[in-house]
Structure 1
Amino acid sequence: MASTPGILTDWPWKPFGNFKYVVVAPFVIHSWYAMLVKDESERDITNFLILPFLLWRMLHNQIWISVSRYRTAKGNARIVDKGIEFDQVDRERNWDDQILFNGLLHYMANYIFPGASRFPLWRTDGVIMTILLHMGPVEFLYYWLHRALHHHFLYSRYHSHHHSSIVTEPITSVTHPFAEHILYFLLFAIALLIPVFTKTTSMLAVFGYVTYIDFMNNMGHCNFEIVPTWLFRIFPPLKYLIYTPSFHSLHHTQFRTNYSLFMPFYDYIYGTTDKTSDQLHYSTRKRQEEMPDVVHLTHLTTPKSIYHLRFGFAYLASKPYTPKWYLCLMWPVTAWSMILTWAYGRTFIVERNNFDKLKLQTWAIPKYKFQYISQSQKMTINKMIEEAILDADRKGIKVLSLGLMNQGEELNIYGGLYVNRHPKLKVKVVDGSSLAVGIVLNNIPKGTTQVLLRGKLTKVTYALAYTLCQQGIKVATMHKDDYGRLQSSSNNFETNLIIAKSYTQMTWLVGDELTEEEQLKAPKGTLFIPYSQFQPKKYRKDCSYHWTPAMLIPKSIENVHS
């Protein structure tokens, strides 16, 4: 929101929420009905293709979001080092509003203007006219409109909303108040409508021009440099015809320079080019991949979890994981992603963070939770984890932590397998078990005298049992096998480790393999505290369940938006 919002700030369909797509439904139904039912003489392929084109625009933008977030996490050619926060994700969530708006205007133009329907596929004269109209009046008028929007009156009411994002993402390019989008469409309509009125337009001219606008907008705000420096050395005039991401990023950091749309030509004419544009372009292109101090190695969970990654759907990544029904409709993409991860077979960077002076990265193994259960996948997964550890060691990374199922006892003995194979490793491989033990102990209510251990025994279980016994708390287990394994792990349990004869304990420490039958035997009011990575299923409404152990994120951590 702008600092002092003006009129027409909000989109007209804002009250509709996620049902805003119904605004184009009547036009879509009419166009498809005409195409599928009416006679051939009454069909309009141009009107019919508007919906597929709108879907293509959404896909195009999403590809840019995903690629940009991956590249900025990797670090090479990144322009601005600062991270983004949740408020920016929320502010830029409605990026598809401008696609709906443009779709409505395309449909209306198709019905209103005689020459705006039944376009031919291609007309050379119309394409040339569109290019010239963009290079001339569109770029020129945009430059002066943009400068006007930086006047304090309009800036505070409208354009400051866009500039709230210092670190830009591709979709920052269309994060504007509704009033601004009206002005932008009037500008771009110059290159769209004049060929319509002169009856020289074509489908490729219209759809190609809008795609070009989307491409350049996304490229200019992607926060990594994509344009090679040699391009301008080979053909110097190109420097005035095509802007670069680093060129436009200076507009978001300096505010009073580099106003041009896509062609810096007018900035050079009117003396508003930032003097550091060339230098920033050159230094950014030379920037190498960032080397973190700490890496957290995790993995995919469910097939649909790809949409909740930070380079998936940003608004889903910014919220706790909850299943969404509409993701079922995307099963072809989900299936293709599973094939892709199977073929790729290497870890990939998910996100980066800064914690005080430490640089952190999260890497992911391209394997899903159900694959970790399969014995046939065990060797492949171990090889991937081992390669990730060796890669971290070569890069000089100090610590690599194994997350979720990458630290399983049956899989790799909590990471010990790799340490034993490579005794000269410089990178420290940790599994986070000490931290998990500390958090579980902190969740046990004060005054507790006895707890029940249930579920699969793990490294965390042994540490919990040992610590609690040392503190004088009775640790009970229902099975002799579990008692024997715990007793044999240490001689210091004394008399505090016991075999329970009944389910009377009010505090249960639970892990994987806790059954519904066991939960039903717990006394009313029992507190279940999990020590595994995954939350137990809730079968009791008269008992309390802690969430899987977690910690609050310190304010000093940067780039937390997922």
Structure 2
Amino acid sequence: MATLSAWPWGNYGNLKYLLYAALAAQVVYSLAYQEDYSRAFWCLNILIICGQRNRTRLLELLQQHAFLDSDNYILLQAIIASMICYMSTPSMIMNSTIPLWNTKGLIVLLVIHVTFSEPLYYFLHRSVHRNNYLFTHYHSFHHSSPVPNPMTANNATLLESLFLCVVAGVPLIGSCLLGVGSISLIYGYAIMFDFLRCLGQCNVEIFSHKLFESLPILRYVIYTPTYHGLHHENMGTNFCLFMPIFDVLGNTLNPNSWELQKKIRLAAGEPKRVPEFVFLAHGIDIMSAMHSPFVFRSFASMPYYFLPFAKQGINNHIEAAILRADKLGVRVISLAALNKNEALNGGGTLFVNKHPDLRVRVVHGNTLTAAVILNGVPKDVKEVFLTGATSKLGRAIALYLCRRGVRVLMLTLSAERFQNIQKEAPAEFQNYLVQVTKYNSAQHCKTWIVGKWLTPREQSWAPAGTHFTQFVVPPILKFRRNYTYDELAAVRLPKDVQGLGTCEYTMDRGVVHACHAGGLVHMLEGWEHHEVGAVDVEHIDLVWEAAMRHGLSSLSSLTD
């Protein structure tokens, strides 16, 4: 690789964040053993600024690997700032009594930024594009993003980031050395610099075209996402940092910059493409919430699951989502695990019965979930132990397996519910369904299908070598090495699927829960029925074959 194109901590993974430990240690050491707290003061502020500048990454999966290290420049700036802090004498830059605000400092900073940072960045940026070696070995990485987004702004090589440290650092250091620095200036400039860089890559036009028509001078003072987007399309134009005036002076202004910006703004109110399929997901625990891009907008308005008094509130949210999807013209809406809880809304039947004229098809996806579980059971298995045996999925699994001549030990205390399911089986297979009431009944069975959460003690009844297949949310704990465990029923989507920007709960990239994929298959097949309530055993093989036909694949370790 070219010199300074790779990061020195590029192979450290998340261990690179230990480099911040030196700053934290200096803060603790100074507070504990030194009378002069100036270095501790600045080290603490460096840590706070770096923490504020790290952003949540909500990206397409194709871009995630490239952007996982897009915060390297923040770590680099922290190291450089700490070095300046240690090399400086106890002058204004090291004085912990620096004021909170200084108007003169703001003026000085703006002057330095406009007269130094803007022209320097423009010159360097244009030079890199006009030099094939520099562009290929350094800047092409930045332009490799399939779709620019805010994180693209920080997608740079080490050399580019070093130059950027000079561009962003000189106005701040210059203001402090001239004795007009302030706390608000340091925080404000660092955050605003990042914001404006990300603004150019965000693909969302926030400025009204009327603003630029009313005050034409603004066209040369602040760039727009459209302006910078044109640079990624036509890399011979629009090189400026934030101020297009330098492209005007350098004769590199793209002539379509403002007309295209106006066109995009006017088109913002036009109807957009309506999704054909929606998966109505929900949070399960803290970790799943951290993987969900929607949680921060809706968490405060979401009732808690499983509390009786919250039942109506939960159903109101689900019903509102279904009606909104129906109004927009969505073809299929699929309900995630807890959104179709039997005790909550009868597996979605509540909404279908209440709104018989729905155009959107409501799908619980349990048919494909059952198919994934059943196709993961080896063909030579003669006995399985089934918990959650009288649930929607448990019933379907039991009825399907008994037809294969598999003896199903159905754990349930309700003789009535067991007998109702047993009567649904063909007469010649009814004896394959056996009711059991205790876990010790399965102490010789090595195939457990789990639809009800198991404690470690309950799992301990299983013999060594037992395999656990599960459809319980949240999944059971994996506590013994001599057992093997499947994840929740899931399928791998085809590699050409687009728009999947996050991992789904415990699933790997490109993998979704079977109920999610079940709704997708329903839409792709163009089926017109609602899939709610009890699972139709006759449709299990039909849905499985349709899923395979559309390029979905099973993950079950039993069939590997």
Q: Shorter-normalised TM-score: what interval?
A: 0.7 to 0.9
Say yes or no: does 1:89 pair with 2:72.
no
Partner of 1:209: 189
Identity of aligned residues (%): 32
Say yes or no: does 1:132 pair with 2:128.
no
Say yes or no: does 1:287 pair with 2:272.
no
Paired residue type of 1:468: L
Q: Which of 45, 48, 63 in structure 1 is aligned with 2:41?
A: 48
Q: Which of 335, 354, 373 in structure 2 is aligned with 1:421?
A: 354
SS for the counterpart of 1:139 is helix
Q: CA deviation at 1:57?
A: 4.3
Q: Which of 187, 201, 207 in structure 2 is aligned with 1:227?
A: 207
Instruction: Tell me, in whole angstroms, the C-alpha distance in 1 between the residues paired with 2:264 and 2:75.
Output: 35
Partner of 1:350: none
Say yes or no: does 1:528 pair with 2:503.
no
SS for the counterpart of 1:385 is helix
Relative to structure 1, the CA distance from residue 515 to residue 116 in structure 2 (aligned partners, 3 Å threshold; closer, same or farther) is: closer
Q: Is the 8 A contact 1:466 1:492 kept in 2?
A: no
Q: TM-score, normalised by structure 2?
A: 0.79
Aligned length: 487
Partner of 2:422: 487
Partner of 1:192: 172
SS for the counterpart of 2:127 is helix
Say yes or no: does 1:301 pair with 2:301.
no
Q: Is the 8 A contact 1:61 1:170 kept in 2?
A: no
Deviates more, 1:145-154 or 1:538-547: 538-547
Partner of 2:78: 103
Relative to structure 1, the CA distance from residue 545 to residue 212 in structure 2 (aligned partners, 3 Å threshold; closer, same or farther) is: closer
Q: Is the 8 A contact 1:260 1:266 kept in 2?
A: yes
SS for the counterpart of 2:280 is strand
RCO greater where, 1 or 2, for CA within 8 Å and sep 6 or more?
A: 1
Once the two structures are superposed, the pairs formed by residues 235-314 of structure 1 within 5 Å of their partners are 235-285=215-265, 286-288=267-269, 290-310=273-293
Which deviations, in whole Å up to 9, do the C-alpha atoms of 1:523-542 show, x marking residues without a partner?
44333322344433345543
SS for the counterpart of 1:400 is strand
Instruction: Tell me, in whole angstroms, the C-alpha distance in 2 between the residues paired with 1:499 and 1:512.
Output: 18
Once the two structures are superposed, the pairs formed by residues 409-558 of structure 1 within 5 Å of their partners are 409-479=342-412, 480-489=415-424, 494-499=429-434, 502-503=441-442, 504-514=444-454, 516=456, 518-538=458-478, 540-558=480-498
Partner of 1:351: none
Instruction: Tell me, in whole angstroms, the C-alpha distance in 2 between the residues paired with 1:13 and 1:29.
Output: 20
Q: Is the 8 A contact 1:61 1:218 kept in 2?
A: no
Relative to structure 1, the CA distance from residue 516 to residue 140 in structure 2 (aligned partners, 3 Å threshold; closer, same or farther) is: closer
Instruction: Tell me, in whole angstroms, the C-alpha distance in 1 between the residues paired with 2:221 and 2:375.
Output: 61
Relative to structure 1, the CA distance from residue 500 to residue 532 in structure 2 (aligned partners, 3 Å threshold; closer, same or farther) is: same
Q: Is the 8 A contact 1:475 1:496 kept in 2?
A: no
Instruction: Tell me, in whole angstroms, the C-alpha distance in 1 between the residues paired with 2:84 and 2:225.
Output: 33
Q: CA deviation at 1:412?
A: 0.4
Q: CA deviation at 1:380?
A: 1.0
Deviates more, 1:19-28 or 1:206-215: 19-28
Q: Is the 8 A contact 1:457 1:511 kept in 2?
A: no
| Unaligned segments of structure 1, at least 5 residues | 70-82, 313-336, 346-365
Relative to structure 1, the CA distance from residue 531 to residue 211 in structure 2 (aligned partners, 3 Å threshold; closer, same or farther) is: closer
Instruction: Tell me, in whole angstroms, the C-alpha distance in 1 between the residues paired with 2:483 and 2:27.
Output: 56
Which deviations, in whole Å up to 9, do the C-alpha atoms of 1:423-453 show, x marking residues without a partner?
1111100000111111112101022333332
Partner of 1:332: none
Paired residue type of 1:10: A
Q: CA deviation at 1:31?
A: 5.1
Q: Which of 95, 114, 125 in structure 2 is aligned with 1:146?
A: 125
| Unaligned segments of structure 2, at least 5 residues | 503-560
Which deviations, in whole Å up to 9, do the C-alpha atoms of 1:224-281 show, x marking residues without a partner?
2222222212211101111111221222233332211111112233332334322432
Instruction: Tell me, in whole angstroms, the C-alpha distance in 2 between the residues paired with 1:168 and 1:456.
Output: 49
Instruction: Tell me, in whole angstroms, the C-alpha distance in 2 between the residues paired with 1:539 and 1:123.
Output: 60
Which deviations, in whole Å up to 9, do the C-alpha atoms of 1:195-228 show, x marking residues without a partner?
3443343333333222221111121122322222
SS for the counterpart of 2:491 is coil
Instruction: Tell me, in whole angstroms, the C-alpha distance in 2 between the residues paired with 1:410 and 1:211.
Output: 49
Say yes or no: does 1:116 pair with 2:93.
yes
Q: CA deviation at 1:161?
A: 1.5
Say yes or no: does 1:7 pair with 2:14.
no
